[in-house]
Amino acid sequence: MPELANLKKFLLDANHRFRGIGYTLISAFMYASVSMAMSKASEENHPIMMTLWNFVTSLTLDVLVIVVWRPVISPGMKELFFDSICAITQSLGAISICVSLALISPSITTPLYLCMSVVVILLTIVKDMKLPRSWDVIFTILAITGVLFITKPSFLTNQSSTEPDPFGIMFGVSSAVCYGLYLMFYQSLNETRTISTIWMCFLIAFWCIVICIIVIIIADIPFLPTDVHSFIYFTIGGLFSFPAALSLNLAVKYEDAGVVSIFMTFEIVLTYVMQILLLRIPMDVYSCVGALLIGSTCVGISALEIYTRTIGDEQESGEELSHVSDTNAGNQNLERTPLID
């Protein structure tokens, strides 16, 4: 099918100028839509059961795409092990987000899990074994301050009743850690070999279903939703989850994790707008200030990292060009030197 081949070439063209940014923005919109559907369905259903049916829909779509797309998937046992570990980290992050959405509003959950950009930078510092820069410390403090505003503690608002569920906050933060680990792990795997995006989405959905089934059996949670409307919301969430995960994987595959983190902050704006229009949940000053601080932190710390890498690459390129010039000059002088018998 030439049409299918052309579509595949267009989507996976590594030379497409705005591929990473485009995939990221699509992912941000899709994840904001998933948050709305899951938040609506969580009113009468357990979050683990919600997550299960969400990813059952995603897995079904993934299998259909694999059958039609026919990507090259042939990992060995070692590759399968590392791919599964990478997929499990995002699966745990997805489950944490769904639990958080069931306990607190999307406008609080979204900025919390977008703190993954701070996690990425901190993991990079640990990976490279270097001391944190002053800007890293400043932006991390800003992110913590933003989380503090979002959680609205009683000493800040003088009203203990306004504090969101602490478990919702905990799962929101844990999702940021899981997604940060996933972005770093996935990018590291892509540096050693090419990973099929469809294959990774399949593994994420598969392991998420496995984890949810284990939790449901142990905790004796109902498998089926309470009504037809809830099942519709689960299906909608799954329909958006698959392209969201696919777009995010493509974004990380073709763009730096820092760039992806910057543009994923657009999800905060989308979530706030959708929450007001669709869920009719008003915003408060503390949540807006906290989201602004976290969004500024994500953009600032990622932009600084990209700038630092760009300067470093330019210096390395300059040193290489200087070395090549010196070598060529030396060769020319050697050619001009007369031979002495």
pLDDT of residue 207: 92
* pTM above threshold 0.85: no
* Token pair of 42 as six digits: 């969580």
Written as tens digits, the pLDDT of the chain (341 aa) is 555 555 555 555 544 546 777 788 888 888 888 888 877 777 677 888 888 888 888 888 888 888 887 776 767 788 888 888 888 998 898 889 888 888 887 877 877 877 777 787 777 777 777 766 677 677 777 777 777 777 666 555 555 555 677 888 888 889 888 988 888 888 788 777 777 778 888 888 899 999 999 999 998 888 887 777 777 887 888 888 888 878 877 777 777 666 676 677 777 778 878 888 877 777 777 777 877 777 777 677 666 766 666 665 556 555 555 555 555 555 555 454 454 44
Cα separation, 54 vs 50, whole angstroms? 6
DSSP code at position 160: G
231 burial (CB, 10 Å; 0-12 / 13-18 / 19+) is: middle
Q: Of 110, 114, 135, 111, give the one whose Cα is nearest residue 125.
A: 135
Amino acid residing at 235? T
The mean pLDDT value of the chain amounts to: 75
Tens of pLDDT along 286-327?
777 877 777 777 677 666 766 666 665 556 555 555 555 555
Q: Which residue in 145, 147, 141 sits closest to 173, CA to CA?
A: 147
Q: Give the per-residue pLDDT at 31.
A: 84
DSSP string of 197-210, one letter each residue:
HHHHHHHHHHHHHH
Cα of 111 vs its chain's centroid, Å = 12
Q: Considering only CA atoms, which of 66, 21, 87, 75 is closest in space to residue 254?
A: 21
User: What does the angle CA 46 – CA 48 – CA 52 come to, to the nearest 5 degrees?
Assistant: 120
For 86, 89, 103, 204, 238, the CA distances from 207, given in Å and listed in that order, are 10, 10, 23, 5, 15
